[in-house]
Amino acid sequence: EGHVEEFSFSDAQSRRVGEHIAAPFTLHATQRQQLWQIQSQLRFTRGQLYIEPVFLEPTSSPITLAVDAQWFPATSQVVFSSIVFDHPGVVTARGHASLVLADALQVTEAQFGVPPMPVSEIYRVYVQPFLIGTALDAIDSTGIISLSVGHVGQGAMTLQATLADLSLHDRQGRYRLEGLMGTLAWAGDTTDPQPSFLQWRGGEVYAITLGAGRVALQTHGTSLRLLEPATIPVLDGELRIDEFAMRQIGTLQRTWRFRGGLTPISMESFSKVMGWPLLAGKLAGRIPQVTYKDGTITMDGSLQMDVFNGTVTVGNLRLDQPMTLVPQLRADIDIDHIDMEALTGAFSFGTIKGQLSGSVHDLLLQDWQPVS
């Protein structure tokens, strides 16, 4: 039995730091013929621990790690028959593992699971630190999540997360999802990919409401793709997703592509959420392949919208840093035979009849406000 008291340490880069740590521990080892039976428990009762990027600090109850293991000196093998990590009020994880203590540590098999638990504290302590600088780094969340992580051999890893009635609210007001449910399955490069599905009751993206929807996905390594076309209600219309795929997820080189269409949305509902005067007519269109790379969204081809009984074509579309505080959009817009009566009927200066054609080229918006 032992007790660590007022233990502080730091590496040269301050990536691993401990301050005033108190941690009683026990270790019981018994030799039985060709193996050692080991039971150990460590209780982190006081202090602060930072292992980049996770910060841990016990509150009302200690953070505990308990293991039961067998060590086979002849083969340098260690079998952890039970591993229990308990962070009260945040997460409890249980599992087992086998490893070989050769020239380099080699994990031959491992399995860990988290039973259904509230997601909010798991996100705050163990997930959010890895997402700083992304669009997922400032979320208020509720709901239940359970996890299962497996490892067999080199690169053969699997992860499965089951979600129950999750709600995600971006604190910057960019998006919101309600009633998120489903199973997310991830497989490493050397493991057969597994299908996933997600469904939700509703949501919002930049004040544009989303209805209930469902998507079927497949992940493999750092890639993700849509398994089948999906339809998402948007205002009083629908967004049709014919193709969606992502590559290099979790890296600075991440990319994605999208192709689909928009079924008629009433301009009245669209202009209401945009804070415009109430406009008449319908908005519909075809969305060509849209690609995200190096922080920029570009569009191959032209976005065609049927609106005000005419056509609006958007070309050379480029959106830089879309999820930052100051997104920047560039585009060329061509207008063909817009019905002026449908367009102007909502304005106080009266009604103008006839048709309008023209263009807006080299358009530049910053934070969605026109610059030039």
- Give start and end residues of each alpha helix (H) in 10-96: none
- Higher-confidence residue: 120 or 275? 120
CA separation for the pair 141, 43 (Å, rounded): 29
pTM here is 0.76
pLDDT band at 15 (very low <50, low <70, confident <90, very high): very high
- Higher-confidence residue: 222 or 371? 371
pLDDT 10s digits, 282-316: 778 888 889 988 888 998 888 888 888 888 888 89
Query: What is residue 87's predicted lDDT score, i.e. its pLDDT?
Result: 96
pLDDT 10s digits, 37-88: 999 999 999 999 999 999 999 988 999 999 999 999 988 999 999 999 999 9
Query: What is residue 368's predicted lDDT score, i.e. its pLDDT?
Result: 84
Query: What is residue 184's predicted lDDT score, i.e. its pLDDT?
Result: 92
Query: What is residue 346's predicted lDDT score, i.e. its pLDDT?
Result: 67
DSSP string for 35-60: EEEEEEEEEE-EEEEEETTEEE---S
Strands 16-32 and 63-72: unpaired
3-state helix, strand, coil in the chain (%, to 5): 5, 65, 25
Per-residue pLDDT averaged across 172-179, rounded?
91
Query: What is residue 285's predicted lDDT score, i.e. its pLDDT?
Result: 81
The angle formed by the CA atoms of residues 315, 233 and 274, to the nearest 5 degrees, is 60
Contact (Cβ atoms closer than 8 angstroms) between residue 81 and residue 97: no
Contact (Cβ atoms closer than 8 angstroms) between residue 111 and residue 101: no
**289, amino acid identity:** Q
Per-residue pLDDT averaged across 28-44, rounded?
94
Residue 348: is its pLDDT beyond 80? no
The two three-digit tokens of residue 214, written as one number: 């469902």
Query: What is residue 310's predicted lDDT score, i.e. its pLDDT?
Result: 87
Query: What is residue 5's predicted lDDT score, i.e. its pLDDT?
Result: 95
Contact (Cβ atoms closer than 8 angstroms) between residue 87 and residue 65: no
Share of the chain above pLDDT 70, in %: 98
Query: What is residue 269's predicted lDDT score, i.e. its pLDDT?
Result: 84
Average of per-residue pLDDT values in the chain? 90
The two three-digit tokens of residue 73, written as one number: 């000196």
